[in-house]
Structure 1
């Protein structure tokens, strides 16, 4: 396959748990709900693909897999699976799952930070409270964190939905919240992140599509960002739509009509297991080839990072082979598509942070 051996840039992922995990803890990290399950597409994928990577037969039973995994130890499992992904650049959302330093010890390649903007604001509020000037403090801290980051991320979809009000200024009053949920405050915060991203050349990532039970799925449809995307077009900001399922076709449309929009499929790929190629095909029906980026959105279990890479390679590889066989694409164009999604598109979107001198 054209995807074999291709180096990847994982443009959105999280840290991993290296503790020994019993079955309930492992399965909690295997799904987005209160508990995942081996009786699922991703459970089958773990048993089929991760087992051989840890020197077990394919399709081994779940309990045998977990006993063997425990015997190897969490750090060894994480290092084996993460280093087998073929990822050479990792962009780590440090809002959940750990820091870049600990993650870097487990992987090959470079690790850069994605700063979660709601976390920055909440950390400032926790330190100083709702004092006069707190908005200025939030802005100053976000600027400071952004200068050392590769990108910014918002989880406004979780807090109030992607139909947040667009605000150039913060609300006139501030109610203390441990977890920021006020739509007007969040609208200002996202707008601030967009301005910082445009000035520094840092992409702004949005969680879209499925997630854990805190989310109201219908409010995470990326089409709700249409007004925001109209406003930010031409400002220099790049917008990354993350995960997207079941709205991956909606995200593909937005990337089709807005030049500054990119998307990934993130955790969709390992979660749909053997159906990864079908989701990639649906996304590429309309998304420009320049817009789709690889990511795993792996969190907690290194199996998710590993499956994200492996199933992406298998899914996209089979898809372009099908197109070549149907004379829908040349081998040269197929190779260009694979390299763009694997790392080229991310390198262009994150160029300002990756190459601050302006040279490759």
Structure 2
């Protein structure tokens, strides 16, 4: 396949659990609900594709797979799976899971940080208590955190939905929450992230589409960002729509309509398993190729980082083989497309030094 061996930049992922896991612990991390299961498309993918990395035959049964994982130990299993992904650069959301240094000790290649807006704001609110200038303190802290980062991220979709109020002015009072849910504060915070991103050339990532049960899916449709995208067009900000399913066609439309919008399919790819090429094809219907990026959104289990890479390569490779057979694309154009989505678009959009 054209995608075999291509080096990847994983522009959005998380750290891994640094502990051995029993079956309930493993399966909890295998899905976005309250309990994942091996009895699913991703469970089949783990047994098929991850088993050989741990020296097992493909399709090893769950108990055998977990026994071998325990025998190797979490560190050996993790390093094997991360190395097998073929990823040479990782952009780590440090707002959830392990930190950059911990992940870098396990993963090959460069590890860069994505700063989560809500985490910074919540840390400041916890520390300052009843300070008189909380919003100024949040901005100072955020600017300090992004000095060595490559991007910003918001999970406003989880906290109040993507139809948050748009404002450049902080609310008159701060609702003192350890976990921010106040729409006025969140709207101001996203606006602050957008302004800092435009000023410093740091893309702003949005969680969109499916997630765990803390999310209300109807509030995570990226089309709800339309007014925000109109307001930020021409500002210099790059907007990254993450994951997107089942709204990936909506996200593709937004990338088609707005030059500063980009998208990935993230954890959608490992979760849909054998359907990866079909979902990729739907995103390709409208999205410009320059707007598509690769990510795994691997979190907790290194199996997810590995499967994100492997199933993305397989899905895109099969799709392009079909296009080439139908004379819809030349081999040279297909090769350029693969390189762009695998790493080139990330290098350009995140303005990485040396690329």
Alpha-carbon offset, residue 339 of structure 1: 0.6
What corresponds to 1:39 in structure 2?
Answer: 39
User: 3-state DSSP class of the match of 2:111?
Assistant: strand
What corresponds to 2:2 in structure 1?
Answer: 2
What corresponds to 1:25 in structure 2?
Answer: 25
What corresponds to 1:279 in structure 2?
Answer: 279
Structure 2: distance between partners of 1:22 and 1:139 = 42
8 Å CA contact 1:292, 1:341 repeated in 2? yes
Whether 2:288 is the aligned partner of 1:288: answer yes
User: 3-state DSSP class of the match of 1:103?
Assistant: helix
What corresponds to 2:114 in structure 1?
Answer: 114
User: Structure 1 runs of 4+ off > 6 angstroms?
Assistant: none
Whether 2:205 is the aligned partner of 1:205: answer yes
- Gaps in structure 2 of 5+ consecutive residues: none
Give the alignment's TM-score, normalised by structure 1: 0.98
8 Å CA contact 1:130, 1:174 repeated in 2? no
What corresponds to 2:176 in structure 1?
Answer: 176
What corresponds to 1:228 in structure 2?
Answer: 228
What corresponds to 1:129 in structure 2?
Answer: 129
Structure 2: distance between partners of 1:154 and 1:98 = 18
**1:166-194 alpha-carbon deviations (Å, 9 max, x no partner):** 01111001121111111111000000000
Structure 2: distance between partners of 1:167 and 1:284 = 33
**1:108-157 alpha-carbon deviations (Å, 9 max, x no partner):** 11000000000000000000113210110001001111111110000000
8 Å CA contact 1:147, 1:200 repeated in 2? no
Alpha-carbon offset, residue 265 of structure 1: 0.4
User: 3-state DSSP class of the match of 1:150?
Assistant: strand
Alpha-carbon offset, residue 18 of structure 1: 2.6
Whether 2:47 is the aligned partner of 1:58: answer no
Which residues in structure 2 correspond to 1:145-164 (within 5 Å)? 145-164=145-164
User: 3-state DSSP class of the match of 2:152?
Assistant: strand
What corresponds to 2:48 in structure 1?
Answer: 48
8 Å CA contact 1:130, 1:175 repeated in 2? no
- Gaps in structure 1 of 5+ consecutive residues: none
Structure 1: distance between partners of 2:274 and 2:319 = 13
**1:59-108 alpha-carbon deviations (Å, 9 max, x no partner):** 01000000010000000000000011110100000011110101011111
What corresponds to 2:269 in structure 1?
Answer: 269
Whether 2:321 is the aligned partner of 1:321: answer yes
Structure 1: distance between partners of 2:177 and 2:233 = 32
Alpha-carbon offset, residue 57 of structure 1: 0.4
User: 3-state DSSP class of the match of 1:174?
Assistant: coil
Structure 1: distance between partners of 2:130 and 2:104 = 36
State the superposition RMSD in angstroms.
Answer: 0.7
**1:247-288 alpha-carbon deviations (Å, 9 max, x no partner):** 000000000000000000000000001111110000001110
Give the alignment's TM-score, normalised by structure 2: 0.99
Equivalenced residues, count: 355
8 Å CA contact 1:238, 1:260 repeated in 2? yes
